[in-house]
């Protein structure tokens, strides 16, 4: 019942659109007259094939994905991509560049050290990950196989608004936490990857969009499940895929198209983010967001209280108002409101009203 739902500001797994959940509920027991749930279908049967093909076609329409890119529905989370990318795009001695703007980029860098020779050419760590570098200042390695960025750092709330041009043309981006939140020019990237569980579906599905000419050069010891070629040749059906998760992603893609596509989604996301950031900035320092204004994420909004001893109280009182999961990541503390696509404007309005009320009582 909608009365029992909370406004969930969790960074992930995040909320799904209410109408998508209801549609899935209505189809759960007997999918469109098939006599089966999607969870019970053969992944090689015509029903599931229609589901995965439509999901791919709708995602291609949403992001305007060029023909020379493959779309793969994989498993293992974005974390598996931290290894899969270097295994497929590099030989063990190949140099790779990383711009590290938060903890996820740092994790991707560290994992890739096992499979190639990565170098951090810029890190925001000394400034507590509050910035995006100026692209002119980047000293890229001349032979780097690719340049890796995390397009939106979920923990630190730092988001690329534009993208650096890699020297050799291959830009790789982790878009786990801002995938499908705004239009993206896919042709600027060699590879985009995203765990589904923020904006597009349940955890268990990882989406990879890869330029086809990058496929087919995996290192010799690459496990079959980590070889893009195997998945591309088999249309993501080499082994049993996460069928139900892919179906849910498909329902979300349909919903995003019905809402008017990603330009419209971005407009809604900007409105929500502006409301929240402006409440923080206009609080006379009662609330603070450490991230430089030009790099602030539309998806994850970290903030602190000037009187930090009130933070536990803030989180507890908010939860009583059904504003939940506002605690910041354990590595940075404070608060974090994740306002992914499915967070309605009403949720952000309610949070902002609560913040003003809390301030009035505690200032």
Residue 341 in the binding site for ligand PLP (CB under 6 A) = no
94, with CB counted inside 10 A (0-12, 13-18, 19+), is middle
Footprint (CB under 6 A) of ligand PLP, residues 139-158: 150, 154
Our answer to whether residue 174 is catalytic in this structure is yes
In the complex, what is the shortest distance from the CB of residue 26 to ligand PLP, in angstroms, rounded to a whole number?
28
* Residue nearer to ligand PLP on the CB measure, 81 or 283: 81
* Residue nearer to ligand PLP on the CB measure, 77 or 86: 77
Region binding ligand PLP by CB under 6 A among candidate stretches 17-25, 72-80, 223-231, 244-252? 72-80
CA angle, 187 then 192 then 194, to 5°: 145
In the three-class reduction of DSSP (H, G, I as helix; E, B as strand; rest coil), residue 291 is classed as: coil
d(Cα 51, Cα 40) in Å, to the nearest integer? 13
Residue 15 in the binding site for ligand PLP (CB under 6 A) = no
Give start and end residues of each alpha helix (H) in the chain.
18-27, 46-63, 77-89, 103-112, 228-233, 243-258, 262-281, 311-320, 345-362
| Residue of 31, 58, 97, 104 marked catalytic | 104
In the complex, what is the shortest distance from the CB of residue 50 to ligand PLP, in angstroms, rounded to a whole number?
27
User: What binding mask, one character per residue, do residues 291-330 give for ligand PLP by CB under 6 A, x or -?
Assistant: ----------------------------------------
Footprint (CB under 6 A) of ligand PLP, residues 73-102: 77-79
d(Cα 183, Cα 186) in Å, to the nearest integer? 9
* Residue nearer to ligand PLP on the CB measure, 78 or 265: 78
For 284, the token pair is: 């006379």
In the three-class reduction of DSSP (H, G, I as helix; E, B as strand; rest coil), residue 205 is classed as: coil
In the complex, what is the shortest distance from the CB of residue 107 to ligand PLP, in angstroms, rounded to a whole number?
7
* Residue nearer to ligand PLP on the CB measure, 150 or 172: 150
Tally Cβ neighbours within 10 Å of residue 119.
14
Our answer to whether residue 213 is catalytic in this structure is no
Three-state SS sequence of 109-153: HHHHCCCCEEEEEEECHHHCCCCCCCHHHCCCCCCCCCEEEECEE
In the complex, what is the shortest distance from the CB of residue 82 to ligand PLP, in angstroms, rounded to a whole number?
8
Our answer to whether residue 198 is catalytic in this structure is yes
Tally Cβ neighbours within 10 Å of residue 179.
28
Residue 177 in the binding site for ligand PLP (CB under 6 A) = yes
Q: Which residues contact 13 (CB under 8 A, 6 or more apart)?
A: 197, 198, 202, 203
In the complex, what is the shortest distance from the CB of residue 287 to ligand PLP, in angstroms, rounded to a whole number?
23
Binding site for ligand PLP (CB under 6 A): 12, 77-79, 104, 150, 154, 174, 176-177, 195
Q: Where in the sequence numbering do the catalytic residues fall?
A: 104, 174, 198
């Amino acid at each position: 019942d909608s009365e029992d739902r909370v406004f969930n500001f969790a960074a992930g797994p995040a909320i799904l659109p209410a109408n998508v959940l209801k549609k899935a509920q209505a189809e759960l027991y007997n999918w469109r007259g098939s006599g089966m749930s999607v969870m019970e279908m053969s992944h090689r049967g015509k029903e599931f094939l229609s589901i995965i093909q439509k999901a791919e076609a709708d995602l291609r329409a949403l992001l305007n994905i060029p023909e020379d890119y493959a779309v793969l529905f994989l498993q293992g989370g974005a974390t598996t991509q931290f290894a899969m990318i270097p295994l497929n795009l590099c030989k063990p001695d190949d140099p790779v560049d990383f711009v590290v703007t938060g903890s996820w980029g740092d994790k991707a860098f560290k994992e890739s050290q096992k499979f190639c020779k990565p170098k951090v050419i810029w890190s925001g760590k000394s400034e507590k990950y509050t910035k995006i570098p100026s692209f002119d200042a980047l000293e890229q390695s001349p032979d780097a196989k690719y340049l890796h960025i995390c397009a939106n750092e979920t923990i630190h709330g730092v988001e690329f608004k534009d993208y650096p041009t890699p020297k050799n043309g291959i830009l790789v981006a982790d878009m786990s936490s801002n995938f499908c939140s705004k239009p993206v020019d896919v042709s600027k990237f060699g590879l985009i990857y995203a765990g589904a569980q923020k904006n597009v579906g349940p955890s268990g599905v990882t989406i990879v969009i890869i330029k086809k000419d990058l496929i087919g050069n995996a290192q010799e010891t690459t496990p079959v499940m980590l070889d893009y070629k195997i998945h591309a040749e088999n249309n993501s059906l080499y082994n049993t895929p996460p069928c139900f998760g892919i179906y849910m992603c498909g329902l979300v893609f349909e919903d995003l198209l019905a809402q008017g596509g990603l330009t419209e989604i971005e407009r809604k996301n900007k409105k929500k983010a502006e409301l929240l950031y402006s409440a923080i900035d206009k609080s006379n320092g009662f609330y603070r967001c450490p991230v430089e204004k030009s790099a602030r994420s539309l998806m994850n909004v970290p903030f602190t209280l000037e009187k930090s001893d009130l933070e536990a109280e803030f989180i507890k009182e908010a939860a009583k108002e059904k504003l939940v999961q506002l605690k910041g990541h354990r590595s940075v503390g404070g608060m974090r409101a994740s306002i992914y696509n499915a967070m309605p404007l009403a949720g952000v309005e309610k949070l902002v009203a609560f913040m003003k009320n809390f301030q009035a009582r505690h200032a």
